[in-house]
């Protein structure tokens, strides 16, 4: 039997994840009272049980200490029960925005500031987050992208690293992306903007790609950047990082940065063990 504990920050998408697990055949139970968790586990783990996949949602609630749930899970693990923990995460600003949009009350601050509830919840959940088998940061994920991550883990059963790598092309004239962790400047390469037949095309067009990658420096840049990321990414994972945004910028964000962002995205995808997304922030600027 496969038993999954689904938990994480309020507003991070736990309900959505539970629905997705239900769609792929999991028997889902949400917000089971803590004193019943052990009995429920014993019940579904009996040899004659027809249930083969179970997902149990655990939330932080004001009326029961979350530490009790953690102690129950520790006892179950000591007793030999096997389960996995899926932790849903999101940045404070994203969670706050979602609460404002839905006008819901935070479970830890029903009459106070949502920011304070988020802070308290993050402190309470730190322990179980450290024990989680999978951490998915939904800050920049679309619903279909979250489903892809769920399928990656629980349908295809592929090796999963809790890191989402976003490759982001941009134009320096429009500002450096505020959420970029690493920023690389490719303005050292000749600019296709000054070639009449390429000016109104982008790095998604073959003609621009052939022009940019026709300079040996472009290929060397990708080789060296890939080599550096091969070193950095596993160390980011080791230190618990779950979201990495790599910005690649040129002047306008349409030609050189798009071409090289596409190339880097393909190279990282070849490794196959990290979630990878590609965005071209400024590709439509001025169109």
Average of per-residue pLDDT across 147-168: 82
Give me the percent of the chain exceeding a pLDDT of 90.
55
Cα–Cα dist 13/55, whole Å = 15
Q: Residue 171 and residue 206: Cα distance in Å, rounded? A: 20
Mean pLDDT value of segment 219-232 = 95
| pTM of the entire predicted model | 0.69
Domain edge (last residue) among 154, 182, 197: 154
Domain that holds residue 213: 164-280
Residues 121, 103, single domain; the answer is yes
Q: How confident is the model at residue 7 (pLDDT cuts 50, 70, 90)?
A: very high
Stretch among 85-99, 104-118, 141-155, 221-235 having the lowest mean pLDDT: 104-118
- Residue 48: pLDDT band (50, 70, 90) is confident
- For residues 187 and 130, membership in a common domain is answered with no
84 and 46 housed in the same domain = yes
Report which of 50, 46, 54 is spatially closest to residue 25, judged by C-alpha positions: 54
Task: Answer whether 79's CB lies under 8 Å from 51's CB.
Answer: no
Identify the pLDDT of residue 286: 64
Pseudo-torsion of CA 251, 252, 254, 256, nearest 10°? 0
Residue 18 lies in a domain: yes
Regarding whether 221 and 272 lie in a shared domain, the answer is yes
pLDDT category of residue 62 using cuts at 50, 70 and 90: low
Give me the pLDDT at residue 156, please. Answer: 76
How many domains does the chain divide into?
2
> Is 229 within the bounds of a domain?
yes
Residues 236 and 273 in one domain: yes
Together in a domain, 21 and 59:
yes
Q: Where residue 236 falls among pLDDT bands split at 50, 70, 90?
A: confident
CA-CA distance, 200 to 22, in Å (whole number)?
Answer: 47
Alpha helix stretches (DSSP H) within 174-283: 206-213, 216-238, 256-271
Tokens of 115: 């920011």
Q: What is the pLDDT of residue 228?
A: 95
**How many residues are listed for the chain in this entry?**
287
Residue 130 and residue 17 share a domain: yes
pLDDT value at residue 158: 64
Looking at the predicted structure, is the pLDDT value of residue 287 above 70?
no
Mean pLDDT of 170-185: 94
Largest CA distance in the chain: 73
State both tokens at 41: 């586990």
Among 134, 154, 174, give the residue marking a domain's end.
154
* Displacement of CA 18 from its chain's centroid (Å): 16
Per-residue pLDDT at 244 exceeds 80: yes
**Domain-located, residue 209:** yes
Let me know if residue 287 belongs to a domain. Answer: no
Return the structure tokens found at 258: 């798009």
Please give the distance of CA 267 from its chain centroid, rounded to a whole number. Answer: 19
């Amino acid at each position: 039997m496969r038993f999954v504990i689904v938990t994480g920050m309020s507003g991070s998408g736990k309900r959505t994840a539970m629905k997705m697990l239900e769609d792929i055949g999991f028997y889902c139970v949400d917000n089971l009272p803590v004193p019943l968790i052990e009995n429920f586990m014993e019940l579904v783990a009996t040899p004659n049980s027809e249930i083969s996949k179970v997902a149990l949602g655990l939330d932080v609630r004001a009326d029961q200490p979350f530490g009790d749930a953690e102690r129950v899970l520790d006892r179950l693990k000591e007793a030999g029960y096997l389960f996995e923990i899926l932790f849903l995460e999101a940045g404070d600003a994203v969670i706050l925005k979602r609460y404002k949009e839905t006008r819901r009350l935070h479970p830890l601050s029903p009459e106070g500031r949502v920011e304070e509830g988020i802070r308290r919840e993050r402190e309470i959940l730190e322990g179980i987050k450290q024990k989680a088998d999978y951490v998915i940061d939904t800050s920049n994920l679309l619903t279909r992208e979250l489903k892809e991550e769920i399928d990656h883990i629980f349908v295809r059963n592929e090796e999963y690293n809790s890191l989402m790598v976003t490759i982001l092309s941009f134009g320096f004239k429009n500002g450096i992306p505020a959420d970029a962790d690493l920023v690389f400047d490719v303005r050292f390469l000749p600019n296709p903007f000054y070639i009449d037949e390429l000016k109104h095309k982008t790095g998604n067009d073959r003609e621009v790609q052939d022009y940019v990658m026709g300079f040996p420096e472009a290929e060397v840049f990708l080789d060296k950047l890939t080599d550096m990321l091969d070193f950095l990414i596993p160390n980011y994972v080791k230190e618990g990082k779950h979201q990495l945004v790599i910005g690649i910028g040129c002047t306008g964000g349409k030609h050189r940065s798009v071409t090289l962002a596409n190339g880097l995205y393909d190279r990282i995808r070849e490794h196959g063990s990290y979630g990878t997304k590609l965005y071209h922030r400024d590709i439509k600027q001025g169109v």
